[in-house]
Structure 1
Amino acid sequence: MKKWTTLAVVLALPAGAFAAVPYGSMPPGFDPPPVRAKPIAGVYNQYWYNYKADILEAEKELVSDLRHATDREDRWDAWDEWTVEVTDADKDYVKEMRKKGYRTGRVTVGG
């Protein structure tokens, strides 16, 4: 199935169609990567929707991995894998947006 077809199916599903990510079950001391809520420069394009699809897939996989975890190490591995996938999706998204001439915002405090 092509990525655009998959995306159309994902966007057509109701919000409750995906299993909720159990952020409350995150291991103590675990530092999750940020997940973007808004696209870079407010531009909704194929790269933004690819990013969102990648995040949804990572979350779906996390829920499945946590469901099948049998011990603490399995749970940590699931969260670590999720972190890698989310970070990779963000890097890919930022890279593509930079190619198109968009930059992520940076705030500097002080001189």
Structure 2
Amino acid sequence: MIFRKLMIGMPAAALAVAPAMAMAHPSGNQDHEPILTRPIGDNPDNYWYDYLTDIREAEHELKKDLRRATDEEDRRDALEEYRAEIADANKDYKKEMRERGYHVGRVTVGK
């Protein structure tokens, strides 16, 4: 809660951090859902800051879990948990934005 209150007063700084977060994956690979680098509708509201917090927490947990891993199974479990947390954060954020009238979708061009 304190982190969220601090971030509300500095949206430009938070937006500058987001692209760096999306590029700095602790696992070294990117076999998970893409991490958003800017808020939907360019609206940096509390839901956006919650999303950023969820992503940071997932990355922190992954780093911690990988440091403690003793075998390949531990590493796979850590990465699976990370992928699930990223997917959940994306789902929750996109759902909130849809409920507020922002369209979240994908455009496909082709046959």
TM-score (norm 2): 0.76
Partner of 2:102: 102
SS at match of 1:101: coil
**Corresponding residue for residue 66 of structure 1:** 66
Structure 1: gaps (5+ residues): none
CA distance in 2, matches of 1:91, 1:106: 14
- Secondary structure of the structure 2 residue equivalent to 1:36: coil
- Percent identical across equivalent pairs? 50
CA RMSD, aligned part only? Answer: 2.3
Paired residue for 2:4, among 3, 7, 14? Answer: 7
- Distance across 2 between alignment mates of 1:8 and 1:77: 33
Does the aligned pair in 2 maintain the 1:41–1:104 contact within 8 Å? Answer: no
Query: What is the deviation of 1:48?
Result: 0.4
State how far apart, in whole Å, the 1-side matches of 2:25 and 2:110 are.
Answer: 38
User: d(CA) in 2 for partners of 1:35 and 1:90?
Assistant: 7
Q: Which runs of 4+ in 1 moved over 4 A?
A: 8-12
CA change 1:9–1:76 in 2 (3 A) is farther
Aligned length: 98
Compute the displacement of 1:8 (Å).
4.2
Measured in 1, the distance between the counterparts of 2:6 and 2:64 equals: 20
Identify which of structures 1 and 2 has the higher relative contact order when contacts are C-alpha pairs closer than 8 Å and 6+ apart. Answer: 1
Partner of 2:45: 45
Deviation of residue 108 (structure 1)? Answer: 2.4
1:75-99 deviation digits (Å, cap 9, x = unpaired): 0100000000110011110111111
Partner residue in 1 for 2:34: 34
Q: 2:41 is matched by which residue type in structure 1? A: A
Structure 2 counterpart of 1:22:
26
**Native 8 Å contact 2:27 2:79 kept in 1:** no
Deviation of residue 107 (structure 1)?
1.2
